[in-house]
Chains A and B, each alone.
Chain A
Amino acid sequence: MSRSKNLAVKYLVAAILFFGVMTLSGLMSAAYYIQPDFLFGLIPFSIAKMLHIDTMIIWLLMGFMGAVYWFLPDEFEIEPAGIWAAEILFWVFVSAVLVVAATFVLVQWGPSTETTLWLVQQGRKYVEAPRWAAIGVALVMLVFAWNVVGTALRARRITGIMAVMSVNMVPLVLLYLIAFPKIDNMAVDLYWWWWLVHLWVEATWEILIGCIMALAVMKLLGTSRKIVEGWLYVEVSMVLGTGILGLGHHYFWIGTPDYWLGIGGFFSALEPLPLLGMVVHAVYDAGVHRMKTTNRPAFYWTLAEAFGNFLGGGVFGFMITLPQLNLFAHGTQWTVSHGHFAFWGAYACGVLSVCYIAMQEQRRLAVVNGRGWVWAFVLLNGGLIGMVGSLLVAGMAQTFFERAIGGSTLEAFIAGQENPWFVLGMYSRMFFGLIFTAGYLTLAWNLLALGHREAAAVAQPAPAE
């Protein structure tokens, strides 16, 4: 295997390991809602929650990088430019994540000085990593961009997919710079912070996963490049056409002018369209190929990606995106329900699909199938949908009792959290969280055992087209 593919496997393995940390810290976060004294005085809720969402970002990012390093040599038929730097930075990246996680757990917070922001944490959701580590992530992103763009330049040719990916590297790197400044005015701080969070997650990441899934579909189903690239351009038009000003749905209540209510509401209501397009494309391709593939888990995770993105990001997002409802539902467990479903559907399923594609080629398996992946697929998706439903019930109760009736004060907040529907939602979320965890363990075992336990014919990897 090429150096790039070896690096890809390392990134995918690291992604799956951090997926486990995310799952464990998610269970911890859920436990505080049921048992408020859980680890009190040792690890506060905030730390478990930081670990949960930060490792989610990290494992998905590592999964994307693994996917790109996997497909790069196939696209250009040469080793990526600067692969040596990427190999070194992989270990730097993993070490930095481990040191940051240890700092979160052991140090937790510091005095109100810039030193705390440099060494302990920055206290900004999703980008809590202290600045020293954020510099490391920026460096990793820069080298990643160089690997993609530099390889295209060295190969003196470019495909449509790689052109989209290369251009996408520019905002991917630039937007991350918003992770650094400390802005006193919270309205301005949140304004730029949403550029990072929304335009990364609902624009650049969507494009990146779109490119990755385009490559995956060609590999899995042998779909023609012309069709895939045509769809990718349509996706880009619709994702950025709706998503850039769809940013406005985060500007309803942060102090920005009220024209954002109309702009944000209108464009984010259109945001499900590209996701619906993905579903249509997936169903069409699956039908044309009569569901025939040599890698069923990868194929099913691709389908889960299309449906999950549409339902979790599109439908569940649409439910709370109009300002008339968002005024009540914003910042409740309803948002959490949407967040879980959207990240799972939009990104996690895609990364898992690539894991199976890579494992098939790395272990030279003619066919990937069996019962293990089916159990993992059912437990993970069942657990996730159960958590999403539980959080939805809790969120609706909170929206009604805390916001619509209570007036959002401390007393109203407590009334909402003590409402029986809310409490039921929290217990139910924990139950489905345990099912999800069982799914994770089955997945990890299945990826590890693939080709070792199951009878599989040794064969050459399937052709790309």
Chain B
Amino acid sequence: MLAAPCEVNIGGIYMPPLLVAGVLGLLLTYGVAKKLTRLRWSRYFAAPPLVFVALVIIFTGLIETFVITG
């Protein structure tokens, strides 16, 4: 049975799981993008802003599915 995402408890404050996953996904994507730029691998992408958005969505989904579980 799939584990359902549940609210994240930080110091008694309950956060929606998508918010936490979104923030973590954004931070992770920022780090990856910075690394790709330093290695000059970003030059192989035709539209890096769209790649950035796509990575945010992918990382958010992965974090919410595998990290934030009930």
Are A and B a genuine interacting pair, yes or no?
no
